[in-house]
Amino acid sequence: METAVATLARPGARALVVVTGYFGDRLCQMLQRYGATVARVETEWGRACDPSAVERALESQGADVVAMVHADTSTGVLNPVDEVCGIAARHGALTIVDAVTSLGAHPVDVGAWGADIVYSCTQKGLGAPSGLAPIVFSARAGGHAGGSHSFYFDIALLEDYWVRRKYHHTISAPLIYALREALVAVCEEGLEARWQRHHEQHLALAAGLDTMGLSLLPPAAERLWSLNAVVVPNGVDEAAVRKRLLAEFNIEIGAGLGPLAGRIWRVGLMGWGSTATNVLLFLTALKRVLHV
């Protein structure tokens, strides 16, 4: 994430950030730290961004960089980054896309999007340990290599390290072995089959919640498959529910962040955790805890 920002952000650069949750706000903070002038396209938490709002913002003030989160872990929303990237390109802006919670669970088509920098992680949809962050650059974005004020996040130095084997830092070799095995498993399953599995388990969870009178925060067409934002019923102590799920069933779910604190539970179904067994186990445990 910071490598992407360090590559494109300069003092005085104009950045437009789509903010649909916690991590869009973090992009704003990082861009500001690197000297960019940041404008925000604010969206209600729990809703996907409206591409026309990005269009209007670019028409009125322009931007050198447009940044957005594809799969918002804080809200369970999937944003239409393909449309936003197309709009940004027409206005001459480079794009940064956060695909942390979508890679391996949703289609991520960097080429079709025309995105300039896309970064992700290894521990979610790919099912490897945490600690690595895959990142890809377009030719346009790669032209900015070498101008970063950061040594650690300088993409030219990182390219020398990975491609030309020049020393830059010491990486954890076991993480690389683990990532390779995770990618072998992805290839064995097949990407399309993997996406379908995540979609099916998301739908199964949503259907089970519906029978309990519970709902997900985003509208159906805007929902993320790998992270499900469950609306906490009125009068329910959401923290107490999470505590009981962990203590009695060994199930840990996330709390809401920012303005959604106390209002949602965040239920991850990603990588090898996205299974029918896990969905049924969670639904059964939640029903017992809520007595519904």
The domain limits of the chain are: 2-164, 191-290
What is the value of pTM for the model shown?
0.94
Rounded distance between C-alpha atoms, residue 32 and residue 11, angstroms: 9
232 CB-near residues (< 8 Å, 6+ apart)? 238, 241, 256, 262, 263, 264, 265
Q: In this predicted model, what pLDDT tens digit does every residue of 12-45 receive, in sequence order?
A: 999 999 999 999 999 999 999 999 999 999 999 9
Q: What is the mean pLDDT of the chain?
A: 96
Q: What is the CATH number of domain 191-290?
A: 3.90.1150.10
CB–CB of 216/228 below 8 Å? yes
| Cβ-contact 78, 71 below 8 angstroms | yes
Give the separation between CA 29 and CA 80, rounded to whole angstroms.
22
- Is the domain 2-164 a CATH 3.40.50.1700 member? no
Span 270-274, average pLDDT: 95
Decide: 117 and 143 in contact? Cβ < 8 Å. Answer: no
Residue from 276, 110, 104 nearest 190 by CA: 104
Cα–Cα distances (Å) from 54 to 51, 221, 271, 280, 288, in that order, read 5, 20, 32, 40, 44
| Residues 72-114: tens digit of each pLDDT | 999 999 999 999 999 999 999 999 999 999 999 999 999 999 9
CA nearest 39: which of 21, 11, 58?
58
Judged against a pLDDT cut of 80, whether residue 145 lies above it is answered with no
Residue 258 in tokens: 């920012």
User: Which residue has tokens 């186990």?
Assistant: 281
> CA 203 to CA 51: how far, in whole Å?
26
Identical fold between 2-164 and 191-290: no
